[in-house]
Structure 1
Amino acid sequence: MTLRVQILKDKFNSSLGLPFKDLLPPSVIEQALDELKIRYKERLFDPIVTLWAFLSQVIEADKSCHNAVSKIIAYLAKFEVELPSTDTSAYCQARLRLPETLLQKLFRDTGQSLESKVTTEYLWCGRNVKVIDGSTVSMPDTIENQKAYPQPSSQTPGCGFPIAKLGVIFSLATGAAIALCIDVMNTHDIKLARNLYQFLNPLDILLGDRAFCAYADLISIKNINCDALFRKHQARKTTMQKGKIIGSSDKLVTWDKPKKCPQGLTLSEFSALPLTLTVREIYYYIVVPGFRTERVSLITTLLDTTTYSTLEIVGLYSKRWDVELDLRHLKTTLGMDVLRCKTPSMVRKEIYVYLLAYNLLRSLMWSAGTTYCTPPLRLSLQGTRHHLNNFIPELLAAHSTKRLQIYRTLLKVIAHKVVPDRPARSEPRVRKRRPKAYPLMTKPRHELRKQLQSA
């Protein structure tokens, strides 16, 4: 057993471990196990082997457990050791034994570790910017998942899928995911955000859309020595007659405390809010061919006009779209949109492993970009994933000296895959390829089977 485990650890360390050696070597996993006081038996699928297999599973296109077990058998095939069964039950049980707290810690540590590599040239006005947004993921239609993350109430029971709501904070400098909150689908984005403020560092700037622009939240962010830049909420009427004008389309405005306690706040929290709040309001117009001209109003706590000019703030808010691309990478590129696990605890673990894999890919892009003088955020995450999967067999087959040369070649080819800069690009949101002409499912599957049998 010990020999097989060591062989697998060496294989994973030379394939996935080498590209991610700065963020997730076996020593980091072992340290996390010790800090969390996690004890485990000597098995083929110990936590380190299981985690490496889980990571390789979500990075590849074929995400089945059978493919993961087949890869492990292939790793052991040329050695004179007993091969594990092709049955996936041992691996699935090992994933079930993986503590959720371990995956949470590794995900957050990798994000923070990548953040620590950010130098001044990647900061905005000398400060680190974090971007926040919410999204949803679906999962298999099981009784356990439906209880924890119910499907939309508008769907007929048996005709929909359980959906979880995610709140995520990303780093604008590295693209890495920093913090995550998971809740039921009908949870408002601002409730998720209030669970994420604790992961901000002093002097961070939080960037978000209009859903997060609330009186209490701006104060909460200021209280932790951070600043915010949000789009103005549509419920607040825009008027330029009030406020102190400090520049073209730029003014200081005093907001009054709400008369009623907002949802999500306790009476004591509401009572502790100051009576007024001074914010900065900036407005500008977006002109896109084919669309009506839109006026955008921004609200920020960055009141210093000398350090943070109007154009700098408008330019910063235009980068908020990066969070949409980050979520698309997670859900579409890596395939987190539709999860595969059948219990709520495994669903959460699967989400954390996806985010961990995403951060590791971002670390590879960061290494490639900084090594070959290319902006890391301009590199293709899909291209990085493809190159990594294609280089893994070569990394496994090479000896230690050659392996480092192959690794440097991997970084070089990743740096060559630069995404074109296409500012103000707009495309119609239509589909050219027609779907199959099948009707939507409006009754549970067992009722439809009965109809077929009685027909």
Structure 2
Amino acid sequence: MIVSEILTACQQQKALNTPAKKTRVRGCTPEAMMLFQLSCSLWRRRSQEQVWQEISSELTELHPRLPDTRLCSAALSRQRERLGSEPFRQLIERCCQPLCDQQTPGAFYHHLRVMAVDGTFFDAPDTPENARAFGRARNQYGQGAYPQARAVLLMEVGSRAIMNVSLGNFHRSEMHGVVDLLPSLRPGMLLLGDRGIFSLFVAERVSQLGADILFRIKKNQLLTIEKRCSDGSYLTTVSPSSSSHYRASEPQTLRVIEYQVSDARCGKPGEIFRLVTSLLDETLYPMQELIALYRQRWGIELMIREQKVTLQEQKRVVRSRKPDGVKQELYALFLTHYAVRGWMKEAASLIQEDPRRISCSNAIEQVRRGVRRSMIYAPENQEHLHTRMVFHISQEGVRQEKMRMNYREVKRVHSKYKPKKRERKAPRAFEKEETYLSFVETVIREQAELDKEKPSGKPAREAIPKHSAMA
């Protein structure tokens, strides 16, 4: 999938740039570096050198007479910097296509392919270059700990695979990213979105593309009832606002749905939840079905968790210390997740199951094993390796999807340690010849000075060890 697209793209580029004279073949090719960066997303807790050894050591053992292919971290960083982030961004646009068909459970609502959009932040190393490029959060307590890149993601709900991404800095509004992703929609799609994303411009643009929306809206939006539908929802006409950054061209009629929950596990009892949709026919699209369908938007939160926690193994900050390297690493992370989700979809089709019920952590482990083995398999046997890997993914126990609800609370609020001051410079690095004893000075004090340390009142008793035997 992704690997074949990388090799095809590189071969096409070579065909365009092939000169008439004979050229030198490099030991570290662009396609090798792209595969290496994707592998870094699979082994997040390992250094660059260790990842390179992971994907090349089998070849070294298979051909012991050939020179060792080990590369140091500095060489790998230079090769990554030379490659840049643009090839990975183009690869996302080229490779990330819908995976589900009409038979995939949960992928379609009636004839509409269900999609979802949402944004999140990724922490970058705290360097001056990243701080200037991405910016950081700020509140009444000061600045955030790390620069942050904002990613707005478009996802296919049935497979939880990413379709496209818009990367920007912290201060770039999520709405800008949503507008960037709208051209990726196709006729016959239904877009789900959370509060803060809806605008008349988005609704109009999605409609022009032949798609529909189902968004949650704020409590002070679209309050005028023009027509009450038979199921309790109502129609309202929204006019363009002259103060909007993205201004719609004409008014649009939309349908508003309101509901509340009675159990605290599903939300705050009594709170009114409000949805807006361009599906106006209450007979074809009943209110109860749309309410149940909107809950599938939570799948994009689970996809983000897979990227941040499962794939990144809870490593909070990406490796790269330069802005373009941060983008390259994030694009590679999204591509790797798409590839894993693609193989999970194949595994689900093999056993006729919902792809969302396949274990993502098990699939990632099977992919890691497959990457190691693929280095020593002949090209004609790669298909058998792929089939075996998909089979092993399908054999892991299938989870039963259930409702889940987490309160927005944290266990640890305060810390006994002082907050780190940003203006305070880091201490001077130790020299190679310096040891701990280089800074130790023995202290010899007189008895009179030690007596000053004794507590006043009762004489101090000699402490008895907790686990000592009692006579």
Contact 2:129 2:323 (C-alpha < 8 Å) held by counterparts: yes
SS where residue 299 of structure 1 aligns? strand
CA distance in 1, matches of 2:75, 2:47: 14
Q: What letter matches 1:69 in structure 2?
A: W
* 5+ long unaligned stretches in structure 1: 1-19
Is 2:30 the partner of 1:47? yes
* 5+ long unaligned stretches in structure 2: 430-438, 440-471
CA distance in 2, matches of 1:252, 1:187: 33
Q: What letter matches 1:28 in structure 2?
A: T
Q: Which residue of the other structure, out of 63, 75, 81, is the alignment partner of 2:66?
A: 81
Q: Give CA-to-partner distance per residue, 1:106-147, whole Å, 9 cap, x none.
A: 1222211xx165335542211112100011011111121111
Say which structure is richer in helix: 1
CA distance in 1, matches of 2:127, 2:342: 35
Q: What letter matches 1:292 in structure 2?
A: P
Is 2:336 the partner of 1:361? no
Using the size of structure 1 for normalisation, the TM-score is 0.82
Which of structures 1 and 2 has the bigger CA Rg?
2
Is 2:115 the partner of 1:130? yes
User: Which runs of structure 2 are paired with 1:143-162 in the superposition (5 Å)?
Assistant: 143-154=128-139, 160-162=145-147
CA distance in 1, matches of 2:264, 2:12: 53
SS where residue 116 of structure 2 aligns? strand
Is 2:249 the partner of 1:273? yes
Match of 1:310 in 2: 287
Q: Give CA-to-partner distance per residue, 1:385-407, whole Å, 9 cap, x none.
A: 01222344455556678765554
Is 2:278 the partner of 1:298? no
Residue 178 of structure 1: how far off its partner (Å): 1.0
User: Which runs of structure 2 are paired with 1:135-214 in the superposition (5 Å)?
Assistant: 135-154=120-139, 160-214=145-199
Match of 1:442 in 2: 421
Q: Give CA-to-partner distance per residue, 1:42-79, whole Å, 9 cap, x none.
A: 32111111111111111124342121232355134221
Match of 1:283 in 2: 258
Residue 105 of structure 1: how far off its partner (Å): 2.0
Contact 2:367 2:389 (C-alpha < 8 Å) held by counterparts: yes
Q: What letter matches 1:65 in structure 2?
A: Q
User: Which runs of structure 2 are paired with 1:33-432 in the superposition (5 Å)?
Assistant: 33=13, 42-78=25-61, 79=63, 80-112=65-97, 115=98, 118-121=101-104, 122-154=107-139, 160-236=145-221, 238=223, 242-258=225-241, 260-262=242-244, 264-265=245-246, 270=247, 273-274=249-250, 276-289=251-264, 291-335=268-312, 337-396=316-375, 407-418=386-397, 420-429=399-408
**Is 335-344 or 36-45 further displaced after alignment?**
36-45
Aligned residues: 419
CA distance in 2, matches of 1:37, 1:247: 64
Q: Give CA-to-partner distance per residue, 1:208-239, whole Å, 9 cap, x none.
A: 01211112221122122221110122331646
Residue 431 of structure 1: how far off its partner (Å): 5.7
SS where residue 272 of structure 2 aligns? strand
CA distance in 2, matches of 1:365, 1:33: 30
CA distance in 2, matches of 1:326, 1:173: 12
Residue 288 of structure 1: how far off its partner (Å): 2.5
Q: Give CA-to-partner distance per residue, 1:239-260, whole Å, 9 cap, x none.
A: 6xx22112222121122332x3
CA distance in 1, matches of 2:71, 2:332: 23
Cα RMSD over matched residues? 3.2
* Superposition misfits of 4+ residues, deviation over 6 angstroms: 35-41, 155-159, 399-403, 432-436, 447-450
